[in-house]
Amino acid sequence: MCGICGFTGEIINQNKVIENMTNLIIHRGPDDAGYFIDKNISMGFRRLSIIDLDKGNQPIYNEINNLVLTFNGEIYNYKELKEELLKAGHKFYTETDSEVIIHGFEEWGEELLPKLRGMFAFAIWNRENKSLFIARDPFGIKPMHYTQNGENFIYGSEIKSILAFPTVEKKFNYKTLDNYLSFQYAVPPETFFEGIYCLLPGHYLWYKDGNITTQRYFEAKFNINEDLDLETASKQIEKAFENSVQAHRISDVEVGCFLSSGIDSSYVSSYFPGQKAFTVGFDFGQKYNEITWAQNLAKKVGINHYYKTIKSEEFWDAIKKVQYHMDQPLADPSCIALYFVSKLASEHVKVVLSGEGADELFGGYTIYNEPRVFKLYQQILPQKIRTFFANMVKKIPFRFKGRSFIIRGENTVENKFIGNAFMFSKEDKEKILKNPTLATRPQDLCKKLYKRAKNYDDVTKMQYLDINMWMVGDILLKADRMSMANSLELRVPFLDKEVFKIASTLPTKLKTPKENTKYALRHAAMKRLPIDTAQKEKLGFPVPTRVWLRDKKYYEIVKKAFLSDTSSMFFNKNELIKILDDHYNGKWDNSRKIWTIYTFIVWYNIYFKELN
């Protein structure tokens, strides 16, 4: 795992600029640095040594030195590809997986990408035709950002590197604020910095003669087999996942794993007897603390278990550091918990495996049950009547049993599901934004993806949307940034293209039947895990923000932010205080909305005030 950055063209103090850009991501690779600099391009690299510790430094060149590579990630099938390339006549000088990419690109060009099994973001400079090729892995596990600034093209694993380029003007992107308030993250390819973009997963980019072109090479398409039975599916899952875990464990350093009480990380940990696992929790009872559960499982599986209880003060003190490393505001409080478990793991190992991606691939989120729950209701009552009932109950100023059902049951999946987080509607945003004309319907941003998924059933449509938006903008972003903030490589064996081949065939009956979510995956996991672990309901990464925001101390911290000058630039303070007070007084649970706004204010102060 590493960090890369660079820019095309000549500038004053060229060496110093690329060195500064590279040092800003030293946390991604504290072991070594490398550069390629000529009058056409400057490429920087920071290395976290995992494979071929002595000779795996970058940049890496092909045999005739006309191609230059900097690479972030891991290629798990590099040995097989190396054998193929050796037969084709290529000469290798290292044992690192990185070298497979440079020779593979020389041999196959863009067709290299479908051959790669792993996580990656890399840049290849052609010294002869002065072209730059950049690619990102199929699911977006590794990040890549870019911008064009006059005659310079600038790129980097993290946006902070790009911002360090002398002529890049740091301009706030109001469009992204609107989307963030609904989704709780910056929706790719846009970022909070005007003119700086995120290269989408499964895409590559060419930069040549001042022109940028991007192309998609991978799409997570579902090919559902309605005849697939539970026993056959679970055997296929078991075989594919075991193969993936073994591939993801390839390393010249020790590999550990994260462990919560859920099936995803527990299933991963079942392959780690005698090795190390890491857990964090909060001192707020079992709902917010999975340590005891993880301890019990660790004993059964035979893992050396390390854990930490995060104190309230520690959590709140870490918010600024976390938002700095995120580059963009992320209103998912679990990213802070992930920061602490990554910090704990980094004290013992360099690499961990984690369970990200299982929910999106195998149908794990509780909300995926909604199509089944509302099916009969929507069949009996026409849309107009459902809308009438929903509008009626929305006006009732108190909660009652069935209220949420009537509201949620009103619309089709395309009109209500924008992903696992839905913070503010267009109407909500018009109330809180100082400039209400910025507010848009978040559903409109999802239309393009729903159109591509039009032939899928509702559960699969939700999965497709989450794979392309939620997983990229939230789940994988925080996994990369929080692990890298602690110089830790995080690998995700569920997000393997061979595992996806199996997951993509599962019918809904094997994902979200009445019994539970991730039905087929749980059945496969029961062969390695205690039944209570395999069948445990999804808990997520619970953080007690709801409790904290009803504590006077933390209420006052947030209130101060809501009344600040930064807040007044974007929001109607009276509306924010009402949302905060309603939660504090127990009228509504507004904790997620409050956290979304508070996180943005903290982030804005870091990037547009403190770092100026």
pLDDT band at residue 285 under the 50/70/90 scheme: low
Mean pLDDT for the stretch of residues 304-322: 97
Residue whose token pair is 């093209």: 153
Give per-residue pLDDT as tens, 472-508.
Answer: 999 999 999 999 999 999 999 999 999 999 999 999 9
**Among 99-108, 128-137, 155-164, 291-300, which is the least confidently predicted range?**
291-300
Task: State yes or no: pLDDT of 445 exceeds 90.
Answer: yes
Question: Which of 356, 300, 311, 304 minimizes the C-alpha distance to 332?
Answer: 356
Q: Which residues are catalytic?
A: 5
CA 356 and chain centroid, separation: 8
Task: State yes or no: pLDDT of 536 exceeds 80.
Answer: no
Mean pLDDT for the stretch of residues 284-299: 84
Both structure tokens of 528: 């390695």
Task: State yes or no: pLDDT of 515 exceeds 80.
Answer: no
Task: State yes or no: pLDDT of 379 exceeds 90.
Answer: no
Task: State yes or no: pLDDT of 51 exceeds 70.
Answer: no
- Spatial separation of the C-alpha atoms in residues 46 and 326, rounded to whole Å: 18
Amino acid at 366: T
Cβ atoms of residues 291 and 281 within 8 Å: yes
pLDDT band at residue 55 under the 50/70/90 scheme: low
Residue whose token pair is 């504590």: 551
Burial (CB count within 10 angstroms: exposed 0-12, middle 13-18, buried 19+), residue 227: exposed
Tell me the pTM.
Answer: 0.94
Q: Where in the chain is the domain with CATH 3.60.20.10?
A: 2-216
Q: Which residues contact 391 (CB under 8 A, 6 or more apart)?
A: none
Task: State yes or no: pLDDT of 23 exceeds 90.
Answer: yes
Q: Does a cis peptide bond (omega within 30 degrees of 0) precede residue 189?
A: yes
SS3 274: coil
- Spatial separation of the C-alpha atoms in residues 17 and 23, rounded to whole Å: 10
pLDDT of residue 339: 98
pLDDT of residue 52: 62
pLDDT band at residue 42 under the 50/70/90 scheme: very high
Cβ atoms of residues 536 and 297 within 8 Å: no
Mean pLDDT for the stretch of residues 314-322: 98
Report percent pLDDT > 90 for the chain.
Answer: 82
Average pLDDT, rounded, for the chain: 94
pLDDT of residue 388: 83
Cβ atoms of residues 101 and 2 within 8 Å: no
pLDDT band at residue 514 under the 50/70/90 scheme: confident
Cβ atoms of residues 128 and 64 within 8 Å: no
pLDDT of residue 566: 98
**CATH code for the domain defined by 2-216:** 3.60.20.10
- Spatial separation of the C-alpha atoms in residues 464 and 361, rounded to whole Å: 9
Q: Which CATH architecture has domain 230-364+466-534?
A: 3-Layer(aba) Sandwich (3.40)
- Spatial separation of the C-alpha atoms in residues 342 and 485, rounded to whole Å: 8
Q: Where in the chain is the domain with CATH 3.40.50.620?
A: 230-364+466-534
Task: State yes or no: pLDDT of 317 exceeds 70.
Answer: yes
